[in-house]
Structure 1
Amino acid sequence: MHETSYYDYVLPENKIAKFPLRTRDKSKLLFARRKTGTLEHYKFEEICELLPHNALLIRNNAKVIPARLLFQKETGATAEIFLLKPLFPENYEQNLNATHATQWEVALRGNVKQGTTLRMTDPHDTQKAITAHVIKKDAQSMVQFEWSKNRTFNEIIESIGAMPIPPYLKRKAVPSDRTTYQTIYAANAGAVAAPTAGLHFTPQIMQNLLTKKIDTLDITLHVGFGTFKPITSKLLSDHIMHEEHAEITQPALASLIDAIESNRKIIAIGTTVVRTIESLVWLGMKINASHSANTKSNALALGQFEHNTLNQTLKGNEPLALHSLKNIWNMIKNDSAEETLRFKTALMIVPPYHFHVIDGLITNFHQPKSTLLALVDAFVQNANNNQHKKIDWRTIYDEALRNEYRFLSYGDSSFIY
């Protein structure tokens, strides 16, 4: 496994896109062919011409919530509450639809002590307050929110919150971020960071995909704020990966299984999709290894490097993706109460790693020393012959920097195939 320094590179401040382009699909697109090492330059609006005919395009339909909330202490000073993930109810949909009280894991700023009750005037009723009681103060704190109106928590944060744009943009959120820091197909609310590879897609591109007989399939990975956390440890293996909540519906899983059986090329829009689909494969093997097809779907979780342990139980043989996903399918069928599989994953993908489902990856250009960059490197290497290496992550990034590509969340895109 590489040392973290292997994923360091010089990213000039002027290469970081602080705002998006006015038109999403006018961004640049660097097409990297893994097997030949060819690098080609396009506009993102041409993506449909580059995708394989009859491919299946998987997208993350996570919707970013306005997760930055400003409350007041008794002294009148401001304290920031940054929502990380729901605790009670733990289910995102149920939590955001709560109508009186809810608990979240949060990050606190502003010298707030455990036991403190923060307040904010309710913009819908200035005679009443929305309160945030700090149950636990730690690196990840616990807060209970309460309000009196019969409104959902989602409605509350939509009225008082700000969009959680990445810290490396070094600016405050502006009203336009509510639209631009959201994919056009965002539907499942709960993410606190956008699946940025999808920001380039427009309604016209989605229509062009249909013309080319390229289907889309939606999964959800509620992207956490840990996605921006650089690796500070010397070794990749010492980095603590953030856990994220993921979902896939029965129809989506059935479509994925059918695509694999039909030998269709499967393209992921973003690293979040890759992690979700790869996690599903390993969870299917985990079910098989424990001989527990009756496992409740809401109890599934995959640890950071648990796939290494699972692979050892297979005596070095790689798991068969189709068999794994059918294990998942059987589990959902047995759990008649659940039509959507919800699971947690902390999967960290670093070289060497064998990808089981994904044939192509659409992704932006990532921060130095990031887990996302390590995943990209693993994906590029997956198609390389070890004796005749044609391309690596640095080849791609050097090309992008030389050709004035815009980097990070609001930047340009790449298609690695």
Structure 2
Amino acid sequence: MRVDLFDFDLPPDRIALEPARPRDAARLLHVSPAGVEDRFVRGLPSLLQPGDLLVTNDTKVIPAQLFGERTARIDGGGNAAVSIEATLHKELGDHYWRAFVRPAKRLKTGDTVRFKSGLYARVTRREGAEADLKFEIADETFEAVLSRAGVMPLPPYIARKRPANETDSENYQTIFANALGSVAAPTAGLHFTPSLIEILSGKGVQHLSITLHVGAGTFLPVTAEETSEHKMHAEWGEITERQAAQINKTRRAGGRIVAVGTTSLRLIESAARDDGSVHPFSGETDIFITPGYRFKSVDMLMTNFHLPRSTLFMLVCAFTGVETMKAAYAHAINNQYRFYSYGDACLLERN
């Protein structure tokens, strides 16, 4: 399919730079065969049924953006400091990460980069805009050092308008965050509060958290003209045997599988067989869902509003229908919904 089929115009003032407060005060656009309905996230319990299973992503965002310098030789002798920016996006091993780096051309294999708070990394490989960094950690955990040296990697459309601040360390983390490893938040989960989960539980809606570590590839634009030419970045995820059993038990009992976020949906669908049953899964997935894909297990999807021409907008079009989603987004734009990571949400019923 042509990528420009998934284009639309979004006024810049619709991009949310801060989250709703409280979190469940965000708006929620319910998209169903009956049409669209304007709601709020706190009203989600009225849209779900006893026996439904809410599946969230418990990945935890790391402060993956690092600023430092490499000392480079200059003509005539002496040294000159070269500023380096690195955004970690894939864990390769113990204290070993692949990162997007800028300016990439100023780094070469064997270089050492000194980041803030005394954090050092050796470049073991550099190809294009990416470099593999082996960090030197003594007696502390990598998480502890990174918490001092790094900052939250806000999406480009926010970072271009304001720097990350102290509140982002909390705002850009879901209440489910537990498994360290993401460089971007599973943003649909940002709308939940403990009280909302409690209300849902009291209604008989079950809750399960699985893990998919979101990579920086989620922000990369689709530059190909045809969807078949686009290559997805792989991301690591896990569904345990117990978690798979709970999903399958819900389906057998007639409950609906409600994925919170495209990350949860992609992981479930990666682990699902043609009959809809979900099996334990541990590894990388690069599943790319576009219109024509037959969904196996997920019945409903709660997600934020996504960028034009993005793989995520293609996914929601596959789930609910291209024309339906274009009409829903037009309604959201005309009715002042807030878009992207800190924006509002929609609840989609599968077409």
Q: Same fold (TM over 0.5)?
A: yes
Aligned partner of 1:70 in structure 2 is: 67
- Whether the aligned pair in 2 keeps the contact of 1:56 and 1:216 (CA below 8 Å) is yes
CA distance in 1, matches of 2:346, 2:276: 26
Letter in 1 for 2:186: P
Alignment of 1:363-374 (within 5 A): 363-374=303-314
Query: Shift in Å at residue 130 of structure 1?
Result: 2.7
CA distance in structure 1 between the aligned counterparts of 2:257 and 2:137, rounded to whole angstroms: 45
CA RMSD in angstroms comes to 1.4
Matching of residues 2-151 of structure 1 within 5 Å? 2-33=1-32, 35-36=33-34, 38-74=35-71, 75-88=80-93, 95=94, 102-110=95-103, 111-120=106-115, 123=117, 129-139=118-128, 140-148=130-138, 150-151=139-140
CA-to-partner distance for each residue in 1:84-106, whole Å, 9 max, x for gaps?
A: 11112xxxxxx4xxxxxx21111
Could you report, residue by residue, the CA deviation over 1:311-333 in whole angstroms, capped at 9, with x for unpaired residues? xxxxxxxx2122xx3xx35xxxx
TM-score, with normalisation over the residues of structure 2? 0.92
Greater share of strand: 2
Residue-pair matches, total: 336
Tell me if 1:175 matches 2:166.
Answer: yes
Contact 2:51 2:250 in 1 (8 A): no
Task: State whether residues 109 and 124 of structure 2, in contact with CA within 8 Å, keep that contact through their aligned partners in structure 1.
Answer: yes
TM-score, normalised to structure 1's length?
A: 0.78
- 2: CA distance between counterparts of 1:132 and 1:172? 24
Whole-angstrom CA distance in 2 between matches of 1:46 and 1:243: 34
**Residues in 2 aligned to 1:44 and 1:263: alpha-carbon distance in whole angstroms:** 24
Q: Is residue 245 of structure 2 the alignment partner of residue 254 of structure 1?
A: yes
Instruction: Please state whether the residue corresponding to 1:392 is helix, strand or coil.
Output: helix
Structure 2 Cα separation of the partners of residues 117 and 193 of structure 1: 26
One-letter amino acid of the counterpart of residue 45, structure 1? R
Q: Distance in 2 between matches of 1:184 and 1:147?
A: 29
1:165 is the counterpart of 2:165: no
Aligned pairs (5 A) from 1:343-362: 343-362=283-302
- Structure 1: unaligned runs, 5 residues or longer: 89-94, 96-101, 124-128, 283-318, 330-340, 382-388
Equivalent residue letter for 2:303: T
2:270 aligned to which of 254, 262, 279: 279
Give distance in 2, aligned partners of 1:238 and 1:196.
27
Aligned residue identity for 2:36: L
User: Of 402, 408, 413, which aligns to 2:334?
Assistant: 402
Q: Percent identity?
A: 38
Question: Structure 1: which 4+ aligned runs deviate by more than 3 Å?
Answer: none
* Partners of 1:230 and 1:368 within 8 A in 2: no
Aligned equivalents of 1:130 and 1:407: distance in 2? 36
